[in-house]
């Protein structure tokens, strides 16, 4: 367990760092994808399609192995892993942001225009608060995918959970026990992400005067009775 706990700390650091970077990229790029300017939309689309259309493992190898050959600068392996995860999942998150913004009812925008709000004010006070509620469930899935993708960092010898587990197996530890512990730890970390995102979703829904889907369904059942 001490070895696996050390690996879990590295996995958690990678997941948190990659998540912060992915969200920081997803929001502006997703908004760029909704721009009325063709050049801005094209730049966002190039980034999104490139990083979604190539393997995160290949991107990781490029950042850690190929970039030093081209630039002469070697990235720290943990930083390279966080960068690869953030760039890859940020592309998927950008599509989530774009879809959530597009899903805001047209009438809300027309009402904001009628109130003489500027484009920035419409985005800040009308569009984003409502779009954020729609972003949370798919973002939850993406963050869990990012957590699981941290296991790829062992390919560049980052001592994460998967790497420590493989070392234990190679040193003669019982494979069944090691892999069962790995499954349990990954599951617990994933469930913590789900609990956190459910809390965020509930708070965001209350801010805009909505109820979460499960609560709306329960209310409808009670009304039918």
- Predicted confidence at residue 184, as pLDDT, reads 93
Domain that residue 179 falls in = 2-224
Which residues fall within 8 angstroms of residue 177, CB to CB, at 6 or more apart? none
CATH number at residue 83: 1.10.3720.10
Residue 203, pLDDT > 60, answer yes
pTM above 0.75, yes or no: yes
pLDDT above 90 (res 170): no
Burial of 53 from C-beta contacts in 10 A (0-12 / 13-18 / 19+):
exposed
pLDDT of residue 157: 87
Q: Which of 33-42, 158-167, 216-225 has the lowest mean pLDDT?
A: 216-225
pLDDT band (50, 70, 90) for residue 212: low
pLDDT digits (tens, 9 = 90+) for 132-144: 888 999 999 999 9
Q: Could you report the per-residue pLDDT of 63-85, keeping only the tens digit for each?
A: 999 998 888 888 999 999 999 99
Decide if 189 contacts 15 (C-beta within 8 A).
Answer: yes
How many structural domains comprise the chain? Answer: 1
Residue carrying structure tokens 């950042």: 63
């Amino acid at each position: 367990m001490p070895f696996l706990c050390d690996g879990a700390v590295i996995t958690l650091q990678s997941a948190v760092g990659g998540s912060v970077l992915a969200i920081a990229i997803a929001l502006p790029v997703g908004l760029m994808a909704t721009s009325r300017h063709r050049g801005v939309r094209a730049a966002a689309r190039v980034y999104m399609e490139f990083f979604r259309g190539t393997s995160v493992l290949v991107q990781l190898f490029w950042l850690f192995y190929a970039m030093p050959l081209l630039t002469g600068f070697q990235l720290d392996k943990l930083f390279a892993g966080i960068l690869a995860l953030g760039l890859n999942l940020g592309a998927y998150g950008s599509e989530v942001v774009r879809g959530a913004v597009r899903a805001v009812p047209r009438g809300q925008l027309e009402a904001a225009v009628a109130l003489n709000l500027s484009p920035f004010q419409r985005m800040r006070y009308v569009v984003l608060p409502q779009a954020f509620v729609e972003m949370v469930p798919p973002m939850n899935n993406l963050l869990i995918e990012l957590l699981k993708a941290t296991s790829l960092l062992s390919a560049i010898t980052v001592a994460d959970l998967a790497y420590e587990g493989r070392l234990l197996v190679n040193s003669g530890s019982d494979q069944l026990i090691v892999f069962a512990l790995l499954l349990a730890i990954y599951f617990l970390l994933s469930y913590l992400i789900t609990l956190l995102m459910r809390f965020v979703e509930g708070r965001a829904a209350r801010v805009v005067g909505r109820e979460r889907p499960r609560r709306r369904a329960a209310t409808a059942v009670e009304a039918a009775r």
